Amino acid sequence: MSTHRLFIALRPPRPIREILVTTMHGISGARWQSDEQLHLTLRFIGEVDHHQAEDIAAALGALYARALLARIAGVSLFERQGRPHMVWAGVEPHEPLAALHRKVEQLLARVGVAPETRSFMPHITLARLNRGSGPVAPFLARNSDLATPAFAFGHVTLYESEMGHGGSRYHPVARYPLDGENSATSAAATASTSFHVTEKPPSSP
């Protein structure tokens, strides 16, 4: 049976993405994200089979939340084994985003998705780094006061990720409006969540 690599995210509007793109330079060897890859991950799910993918898409139809106002606030990095691994832009305020994350977790638990073990940190990945990347400090200093006007996240999107030679490609599977109504009963969500994850042909031996 085919599998699907899924994650759930918020997509910032184009003017905000354009601001982020203008910052994305100055670290040699960095693998900068494309505009299409800029998002705030609410929950990475990983590989699931086709039936569970459909269950996840259906479960998220019960999401009940209002649109969120947020803003970009500064940049930072994650390290792996003591080495810079990723640079990212922070998103605040934290608590409304964390509350949405918790609601998504509750819906996923209903269809058998194991709970997230890592703490939730709202951020948008800007670049992935390797052992030869750097230095990173000038980039962090130059963008330490990065800030944008407030903007709205109007919907949550379920994405499928496909790995390729140029990095991952993200395909939206379904969108769920953040309008303060139960998505499963709103007309806008009914259209989006009726999409079935496309079955992939089996790989050649």
CB 9 within 8 A of CB 57: no
Secondary structure of residue 126 in the 3-state scheme: strand
Please, which residues bridge with residue 158 across strands?
A: 8, 174
| CA-closest candidate to residue 32, choices 80, 91, 88 | 88
Structure tokens at 105: 């977790």
How many Cα atoms sit within 13 Å of 11 on the Cβ side? 18
Report pLDDT for 180: 65
The residues near 163 (Cβ < 8 Å, ≥ 6 apart) are 5
CB 27 within 8 A of CB 136: yes
Cβ count near 191 (within 10 Å) = 11
Secondary structure of residue 115 in the 3-state scheme: coil
pLDDT interval class at 182 (50, 70, 90): low
- Mean pLDDT value across residues 163-189: 72
The residues near 145 (Cβ < 8 Å, ≥ 6 apart) are 74
pLDDT in tens, 30-72: 999 999 999 999 999 999 999 999 999 999 999 999 999 999 9
Q: How far apart are CA 193 and CA 6, in angstroms?
A: 15
Q: What is the pTM of this model?
A: 0.86
pLDDT in tens, 139-175: 999 999 999 999 999 999 999 998 776 677 899 999 9
Place of tokens 């999401």: 63
CB 10 within 8 A of CB 156: yes
Report pLDDT for 2: 83
Place of tokens 């139809």: 61
pLDDT interval class at 1 (50, 70, 90): low
DSSP track, 35-57: GGG--EEEEEEEEEEHHHHHHHH
